[in-house]
Amino acid sequence: MNAATQPLETEVVIVGAGPVGLFAVFQCGMLKMRCHVIDALEAIGGQCAALYPEKPIYDIPAFPRIEGLELIERLEQQAAPFHPIYHLGQQVVAVSRLADDRFQVETSAGTTILCRAVILAAGAGAFGPNRPPLKGLEAYEGTSVFYMVRRREDFRGKRVVIAGGGDSAVDWAVSLAELAASVQVIHRRDKFRAAPDMVERMQALTEAGKLELVVPYQLSALEGEGGRLSAVIVADLDGQEKRLKADVLLPFFGLAAKLGPIAEWGLEIDKHLVRVDPTGCETNQPGIYAIGDLAQYPGKLKLILQGFSEAAMAAHHMYGRVFPGEALHFEHSTTKGLAL
């Protein structure tokens, strides 16, 4: 199907595939509302997967401790029975209201989706990776250069170069050292801005010869052909270069957050957040909802669990809009089971 000329149709479009967006899929699914999910990142999970995959979270009900990536995997499993359609690596560029009061959602990849309601679950806006200024970088993205790790197994037996000095760089260096052929970590200084215990684990792996710290160096150039890396060129502060054999480059320089086109949708914006009615998380534009960190109202707490609550509230509030004339009879999941 040519997405640019043949619109897709669904009940709900969710913008943001982080934990709150994924739970919104479940809540909508329980009310028999199909969902398409759009995210600027190349994999689901939002910040939990991109920045804190192995960091423990302590305030998720029923989980005294759960790591970010495991939380995302469980939310994905919970949403899976409702068959959400994911549109990843693309950003919503336009939302327009049609004559029949449906919305037309268009993405940067040329995808057009018609829906009855839109849920904004994009954290503090559209997240995208901070890309290093390397010539020809685009040719390797998605094949040899990745800005987040979805599956550790994808890197088994690979020569991995990691660039960065924060939590993501250190966490993945420690994690991938177990299965990659080699792991080299590039950083412009020998101090790392990460959890001390993880830095200690990385140092221990370095002393054991299971990974190499390449400091103080910065990325300089890439070598390879056909989208496949063969080496990463790094340079020290004096411009002296070093060639690192590599199959994969993981540049972890954080994510850039911005409202982007959302700021032009006629929504009520307050300090880069979207004001909503707390009774149902609807914005000042009927049919458009905001949940999670993006939503603002009196008494708001920026907690994942509050975002989960907002997902349920928004799904129930929009039911009458999605199914005009149909009454919603509330039932607990223990009574109705999965609404497949």
Provide the pLDDT for residue 259. 57
- CATH fold of 132-252 reads FAD/NAD(P)-binding domain (3.50.50)
Given a contact cutoff of 8 angstroms between Cβ atoms, the answer to whether 46 and 39 are in contact is: yes
Sign of CA dihedral 69, 72, 77, 83: negative
pLDDT-wise least confident of 64-73, 123-132, 176-185, 272-281:
123-132
Provide the pLDDT for residue 60. 93
Confidence of residue 257 (pLDDT cuts 50, 70, 90): low
Does the pLDDT of residue 249 top 70, yes or no?
A: yes
Confidence of residue 309 (pLDDT cuts 50, 70, 90): very high
Provide the pLDDT for residue 127. 52
Q: Residue 165 in 3-state DSSP?
A: coil
- Percent of the chain clearing pLDDT 90 (strictly above): 71
Provide the pLDDT for residue 336. 76
Mean pLDDT (whole number) for 250-256: 82
Provide the pLDDT for residue 299. 94
Give the amino acid at 244. L
Mean pLDDT (whole number) for 54-79: 90
Q: Residues for the chain: how many in total?
A: 340
- Percent of the chain clearing pLDDT 70 (strictly above): 92
Mean pLDDT (whole number) for 163-177: 92
Report DSSP state, residue 300. Answer: -
Provide the pLDDT for residue 125. 47
Provide the pLDDT for residue 313. 97
Provide the pLDDT for residue 5. 67
Does the pLDDT of residue 292 top 80, yes or no?
A: yes
Q: Between residues 286 and 4, which one has the greater pLDDT?
A: 286
Provide the pLDDT for residue 258. 56
Provide the pLDDT for residue 85. 98
Write the pLDDT tens digit of every residue in 113-159: 999 999 999 865 455 678 899 999 999 998 999 988 877 889 999 99
Domain boundaries, the chain: 8-128+256-336, 132-252
Specify the CATH class of 8-128+256-336 in words: alpha beta
pTM: 0.69
